[in-house]
Structure 1
Amino acid sequence: MTSIKIDRSACQGYGNCVLALASVFDVDGEGLVVLRRDTVEPGELDGLRRAAYDCPTDSITFVA
């Protein structure tokens, strides 16, 4: 499994991560990223890569 970390202090609420992988990412009432879960299955790795790449503030990191 791949572990995910987010940096909420860097997040500016663009929501690109949610568009890329809504099963893992969400936004809270403040509009900042939250994790629905902190790991992904191998079949979701492309979506996770897209979410991290599309984040303009580099708030998403992961270890595959």
Structure 2
Amino acid sequence: MFTVKADRSICQGYGNCAMDAPESFDLDDDGLVVALKAQFTEDEREVVAAAVHSCPVRALSLAE
């Protein structure tokens, strides 16, 4: 299992994460990233990591 840290203070609402992994990320009413789960499984790592790396302002990071 792993988690994703979201730094909402630098999120610009591009939505790349939500487009790449809609089952894992969304944007709230303010247009800022929200992780839809507290923890992710190893089976989800490839998709979630791609979504994390697609953020142009690096508002997301993987955490073990």
TM surpasses 0.5: yes
Q: Which residue identity is paired with 1:34?
A: V
Q: Segments of 4+ in structure 1 off by > 4 A? A: none
Alpha-carbon distance, 1:30 to partner: 0.9
Deviations 1:6-56 (A, max 9, x none): 000010000000111111111011111011112111111011111111100
Structure 2: where are the runs of 5+ without partners? none
Which structure features the higher share of strand residues? Answer: 1
Between the aligned residues of both structures, percent identity stands at: 36
Are 1:5 and 1:38, in contact at CA under 8 Å, matched by a contact in 2? no
SS of equivalent residue, structure 1 residue 34: strand
Structure 1: where are the runs of 5+ without partners? none
1:6 equivalent in structure 2: 6
What is the root-mean-square deviation in Å for CA atoms of aligned residues?
1.0
Range 38-47 or range 6-15, more displaced: 38-47
The CA distance in 2 between the partners of 1:6 and 1:59, in whole Å, is 6
Total equivalences in the alignment: 64
